Amino acid sequence: MTNVYGVQPAYMQRAVFVAILSFMFFLAMMFAFYLRQHFGYFLLSTAFLLVYLVTMFSWVMQRGNAVKIFENGIEYRKFSCLWSEIESVDRIGSNPHGLTITSHPAKKVDIPSSIKGIDEIEFILRDRMYSRER
């Protein structure tokens, strides 16, 4: 059994929308700078280009976020542990909409709410913890 939960499509769509809009404004300000030769338009176009680049960088980095649930454990980014190592699964504290997983060798990871199927992940984790206790 291997389940992979990636980023919710709504978050990806927002990033694409911001990237397209900022690139369009970049082009518009460059065109205005070409026509009017006013330095303010160049500064605006530079700002829109920076917004575009930061959005594209974060979009590429966000695509790699995925929770992988295996038969023997869970993996998220650099965090991985076996089912027997999980001590607690919480939705309180610094991450009220996501999950906070604490494992036995004092490792802790916050899974953000932007991950698709966060409720299903919580159900699987709690089910595994409950079945381990029996």
Closest C-alpha to 133, from 92, 83, 98, 79: 83
Instruction: Give the pLDDT confidence score for residue 25 in this predicted structure.
Output: 97
Instruction: Give the pLDDT confidence score for residue 63 in this predicted structure.
Output: 78
Q: What are phi and psi of 5, to 5 degrees?
A: -115, 115
Q: Residue 27 is encoded by which pair of tokens?
A: 């082009």
Instruction: Give the pLDDT confidence score for residue 47 in this predicted structure.
Output: 97
Instruction: Give the pLDDT confidence score for residue 3 in this predicted structure.
Output: 87
- The CATH number that domain 67-133 falls under is 2.30.29
Detail the DSSP E strand segments found in 32-124.
67-69, 73-76, 79-82, 86-90, 99-103, 107-111
With a threshold of 0.85, does the pTM exceed it?
no
Instruction: Give the pLDDT confidence score for residue 17 in this predicted structure.
Output: 95
Nearest-angstrom CA–CA distance, 14 and 30: 24
Instruction: Give the pLDDT confidence score for residue 1 in this predicted structure.
Output: 59
Instruction: Give the pLDDT confidence score for residue 128 in this predicted structure.
Output: 85
Domain ranges of the chain: 9-63, 67-133
Q: What average pLDDT values come out for the chain (134 residues) when binned by 10 residues?
A: 85 92 97 95 96 92 87 90 89 76 86 89 87 68
Sheet arrangement for strand 79-82:
3-5, 67-69, 73-76, 79-82
